Amino acid sequence: MSFLPPGAYTPATDHWGSFAKLSARLPEGSVAVVDRTVTRFHPGLLPALEARRPRALVQLTGGERAKTFASLEKVLAGGLSLPRSGTLIAVGGGTLGDVATVAAHLLKRGVRLVQVPTTLLAAVDSSLGGKGAVDLTLRGRVVKNPAGVFHYAQEAWICPELFSSLSESQRREGAIEAWKMVVCLDGPLFRRYLRQAPTLARMVKDARRLKESICAQDPYEQTGLRGVLNFGHTFGHVLEGMSRFKLSHGDAVGLGMLCALDVGRALGVTPEPVAEQVEEALRRGAGVLGRERTAALLKRAPLEDVVQLLAADKKAGKAGELRMVLLTAMGAFRIQEVSEATWRNLWPAWKRGLRP
């Protein structure tokens, strides 16, 4: 007899296969949340879901604008008659997954959640680890993820055919987040990746295993360990903001990782050969953009705006010091305070697109 509520941490259970085949796992009378865009690319999706006689099928259009209270309300309305033992299934990218996770947590104080990630980013990152959130708009400004929950999915279905409709930039985004985990957490695997580029399926499997191992040790983000998943995100968020979100999150994180390597080298934490090899691998293997993109973005950026962005990111301390993930070796990391002076010293080189 288990006394764990639905959504409590349990190790991830992944099922691989086509959606048509895996859909037989869905109990009848479930509630489905589906990305409308995905159903257009994959016409077999809705009939397969409908065959399971869901009590509600809520379609939302994926994208950051889906992460509103209005979407959440739609999903909750669809789930009104769902019993606590019922299942909510989310078929979509990170935005739909995030909304569905919150809904699963709230409905009947917690129902079963099944995640079917349809973007690579969702497959390697957001559909695993229990987090879900919606955004708030305050005085016309979107605040990301202020209202969130932990609610672990009971299972995830990885359906590789669904990734066929992703754009090159969407694939790169997922690959960058996957490489991030390998670089920080698994040296031998990183060296294997260097010798031979992984297939997409291999990369998803490896990234999910690595993220799962971190979540198993810190399921509710209490020990600080999950912080490693933020490698590259400190300056990544700055660059994402500077581009007014024209740069994808993944591309921004990729450039942010290069910044983190520079900071690590400057502090003597990241050995020079490690930084060099990782930069090379990120450029070639994961498709991280060139430093000239960082330069182009920073050209227009007054330093004061950057300081503000970093402070808003809640990673900065009182004296402007940052808590950053730095590599200590291949597959090993340390989370460390970085003074404002340290990164300001690197700024002029970043602004010229050079390796400091």
Ligand X SMILES: NC(=O)c1ccc[n+]([C@@H]2O[C@H](COP(=O)([O-])OP(=O)(O)OC[C@H]3O[C@@H](n4cnc5c(N)ncnc54)[C@H](O)[C@@H]3O)[C@@H](O)[C@H]2O)c1
The footprint of ligand X (CB under 6 A) covers: 35, 37-38, 41, 62-64, 67, 92-96, 98, 118-119, 121-122, 125-126, 129, 131-132, 145, 162-163, 165-166
Q: Give the integer Cα–Cα distance in Å for 338 and 117.
A: 35
Q: Which two tokens stand for residue 42?
A: 């994959």
- In the complex, what is the shortest distance from the CB of residue 46 to ligand X, in angstroms, rounded to a whole number? 14
Residues 6+ apart with CB under 8 A from 121: 93, 94, 170, 173, 174, 177, 249, 250
Sign of CA dihedral 31, 201, 170, 322: positive
Asked whether the beta carbons of 54 and 31 are under 8 A apart, the reply is yes
In angstroms, give the least distance from the CB of 65 to ligand X: 9
The least CB distance from residue 296 to ligand X, in Å, is 23
List residues bridging with 31 in a β-sheet: 56, 88
Tell me the C-alpha distance between 263 and 295, whole Å: 16
Structure token digits, residue 277: 């090899």
Q: Between 54 and 129, whose beta carbon lies closer to ligand X?
A: 129
Name 23's Cβ contacts closer than 8 Å, sequence gap at least 6. 48, 49, 51, 52
Closest distance between ligand X and the C-beta of residue 11, in Å?
16
Nearer to ligand X, 30 or 118 (CB): 118
Nearer to ligand X, 213 or 328 (CB): 213
Minimum gap (Å) between residue 301 Cβ and ligand X: 23
Q: What angle do the packed helices 69-78 and 94-106 form, to 10 degrees?
A: 60
- Comparing CB distances to ligand X, the nearer of 155 and 262 is 155
* Cα–Cα dist 127/118, whole Å: 10
Q: Identify the DSSP state of 176.
A: H
- Could you tell me the smallest distance in angstroms from the CB atom of residue 122 to ligand X? 4
Is residue 311 classed as helix, strand or coil in its secondary structure? helix
- Of the pair 165, 345, the CB lying nearest ligand X is at 165
Q: Between residues 102 and 274, which has the closer beta carbon with respect to ligand X?
A: 102
Are residues 181 and 260 in contact, defined by beta-carbon separation less than 8 angstroms?
A: no
Chain centroid to CA 215: how far? 13
What is the closest distance, in whole angstroms, from the C-beta atom of residue 97 to ligand X in the complex? Answer: 7
- In angstroms, what is the minimal distance from the CB of 198 to ligand X? 20
Cβ nearer to ligand X, comparing 135 with 262: 135
Place of tokens 């016409």: 43
Strands, DSSP E only, in the chain? 14-16, 31-35, 56-60, 87-92, 112-117, 131-138, 141-150, 155-158, 322-329, 332-338
- Give every CB contact of residue 236 below 8 A, 6+ residues apart in sequence: 249, 252, 253, 254, 255, 256, 257, 259
Nearest residue to ligand X on Cβ basis: 94
37/294 with CB nearer ligand X: 37
Query: 35 or 262, CB closer to ligand X?
Result: 35
